Amino acid sequence: MPPPIEFWFDYSSNYSYLSVMRIDDAAARSGVTVQWKPFLLGPIFRSFGMAGPSALVRPPMAEYIWKDIARQAAKYLLPLARPSTFPRSAVLPLRVALLGAEQPWISEFSKRIMLLNFARDMAIDDSAVVSQVLHDLGLPAAEIIEQATTAANKLALREQTEAARLRGIFGAPTFFVGEEMFWGNDRLDDALEFAAFTALRHEAS
C-alpha cells in the first residue's frame, strides 16, 4: 500500500481550490489515501512579515495568477469566477473542516465551500452559508457549528497552523508524503507519483 498524502490547505487560497476539487479522484487513481489538513495561511504569511499572498506585492503578477488559474480550471473542467474579495476570510469553514477532517463528508464539504468562494463569489466565512452547506449534505448543521466554535476547536486550528509552520510550510496547497514536501497544485501529481513509487520500492525490497 502506498503511504497517505497529507493535504494542507486553506479555503481562502486560490490554488488550493484546484487541488480540493481534484485530489480525491487523483489520489484514488494512485491508490493513495488523503489526510485533510486545514490550516490558516494568514498567520504563516505574517510570520514572514508578509501582509498577504506574495502575488499581491507585484500587481502584474496578481493579474497573471488569475489568468493562470482560469487556464488550469479550464484544463480540469472546473468553473471559475474571480472572487470580488481576495483573499477571503475562511475561518469558520476551516474550523468545521478541522472537526470533520476524518469524516466521510470532508471532501464534499470542502468542494462545496470552494465552489462558493471561487465559482459563486460568496462570503464563505458566514455561519448561514456554512450551515446551508452542512444541511445540504444531510448533516446536523447547528450541532457541528457549535462544536466547531468551541474554545477547544478554535485552539486546535491555531495549533494545527503552528504545526504547519514548524513543518516548514510557507504556502498552500502543500502536500507531504512522509517527510517529502511538495508545494503547489502543480506538484500534486508528482506527490502522488512519489507515494506510488514508495510502495513499489517497499514491495521490491
CB of 78 to a copy of itself, least distance (A): 16
Tell which positions 60-89 bind a copy of itself, by CB under 8 A: 60-61, 63-64, 67-68, 71
Q: Minimum distance between the CB of residue 167 and a copy of itself, rounded to whole angstroms?
A: 9
Side chain identity, residue 116:
L
194 closest CA partner among 179, 205, 204: 179
170 is a contact residue toward a copy of itself (CB under 8 A): yes
Rounded CA gap, 205 and 190, in Å? 22
Q: Which of 69, 169, 172, 177 binds a copy of itself (CB under 8 A)?
A: 169
Pick the closer one to a copy of itself by CB: 58 or 120: 58
104 touches a copy of itself (CB under 8 A): no
Identify residues 17-56 at the interface with a copy of itself (CB under 8 A).
Answer: 48-50, 54
CB 191 to a copy of itself: min, Å: 11
In this complex, which beta carbon is closest to a copy of itself, that of residue 58 or of residue 158? 58
Contact between residue 182 and residue 194 where contact means Cβ atoms under 8 Å apart: yes
CB of 168 to a copy of itself, least distance (A): 4
Asked if 187 interacts with a copy of itself (CB under 8 A), we say yes
C-alpha cell at 117: 468562494
Q: Enumerate binding residues for a copy of itself (CB under 8 A).
A: 48-50, 54, 57-58, 60-61, 63-64, 67-68, 71, 168-171, 181, 183, 186-187, 190
